[in-house]
Amino acid sequence: MPIKVIDQLPAVEALSAENVFVMTESRAQSQDIRPLKIAILNLMPNKIATEIQLLRLLANSPLQVDVDLLRIDDHVSKNTPPSHLNCFYRYFSEVQQQKYDGLIITGAPLGLVDYEDVTYWAQFGDILRWADHNVTSTLFLCWAAHAALYQYYGLQREIRGEKLSGVYWQQVTQPLCPLVRGFDDEFLVPHSRYAQVPKQKYQQHDDLHILAEADVTGAYLLQNSSGSRVFVTGHPEYDLTTLDEEYQRDLAAGLNPKLPENYYRNNDPLQGPQKLWQSHAFLLFSNWLNYYVYQATPFELSQIGQSA
């Protein structure tokens, strides 16, 4: 899929070097095509790295995608240059009168912070309520998935005794669901979090369906009945070295982290990590775009939410 982004976005050069088809804004204007409008609310500290990860996955489909990068109003990012944010990002308040075919909300390093203590918790709730009427389908990643499950269903997370960090096998539980079409019975996914919601809490809500899970990680992939809300509790978008960077960061901070499981060759950091989850990540995003966005969205963006 050609991804339409602003010409000078750093991700363009990085993805072009991987032979990923990224269409700049100036090139896209010459095509008479109704692209999918996708917004990415990027809550991760290293926003540039996350941009590259998500745009790489969105590119694996034959349709054109027009991407808007969003940020929270009145929230200062400490790890991304203001010049980058001012050039490539829009505040949510600037787009809340618009409609989108799809929305992706990333994780955030807030696993040990109470939801109500998050500085942008109120606007996070505003965004979810806006998405229900202005977005065809929203994909929530890691922290955003648990936070959205709390906002929508009142499902309070539990904090694990130690951080879940590593690459874990997941089992498909509903193989006929379009979101997992083409998945193997078991597949690998990176996880990096403290939070977990017990399975019995999910089962109290008829509108929630677990599509993939594992004993050690709990539910990994869930959706509501209509597919307008998709919850991913892991990090399929992670690069090869992301878990290693987090591990080295925690080591340097004196947190005595546990070695990420099933990640390094022979469980030896000196031998380096191996990437065993990329095919699943591409298929997950491709299925979401096809079955939950492209097949479900109206041709006219103005019609989104009219039946909500």
Residues in the annotated binding site: 163, 192, 249
> Which 8-state DSSP code applies to residue 261?
B
SS3 88: helix
Q: Cα 78 to chain center, whole Å? A: 21
List strand residue ranges (DSSP E) for the chain, in order: 3-5, 22-24, 36-41, 65-71, 89-91, 100-105, 135-141, 158-172, 186-196, 208-214, 218-224, 229-232
Length of the chain: 308
Active site residue 235: yes
Task: Give the CA distances from residue 247 to residues 79, 192, 258, in Å, rounded to whole numbers and listed in that order.
Answer: 18, 10, 8
- Write the single-letter amino acid at 200: Q
Query: Virtual CA dihedral for 230, 231, 236, 241, nearest 10 degrees?
Result: 140
Catalytic residue (one of 142, 177, 191, 246): 142
Task: State the Cα–Cα distance between residues 78 and 96, nearest whole angstrom.
Answer: 25
Based on its alpha-carbon atoms, the radius of gyration of the chain, rounded to whole angstroms, reads: 19
Task: Say which residue the tokens 């993805």 belong to.
Answer: 15
Catalytic residue (one of 191, 209, 213, 237): 237
Q: Binding-site residues for substrate, please?
A: 163, 192, 249
3-state helix, strand, coil in the chain (%, to 5): 35, 25, 40
Task: Give the CA distances from residue 60 to residues 28, 52, 67, 216, 286, in Å, rounded to whole numbers and listed in that order.
Answer: 17, 13, 14, 30, 6
Cα–Cα–Cα angle for 105, 209, 290, rounded to 5 degrees: 55
Catalytic residue (one of 146, 209, 235, 280): 235
- Let me know how many helices (H) and strands (E) the chain has, helices first: 10, 12
The token pair that represents 266 in the structure block: 């022979």
Q: Do 70 and 135 touch, CB atoms closer than 8 A? A: no
Q: Name residues whose C-beta falls within 8 Å of residue 307's C-beta, 6 or more positions apart in sequence.
A: none
Active site residue 191: no
Kindly list the catalytic residues: 142, 235, 237
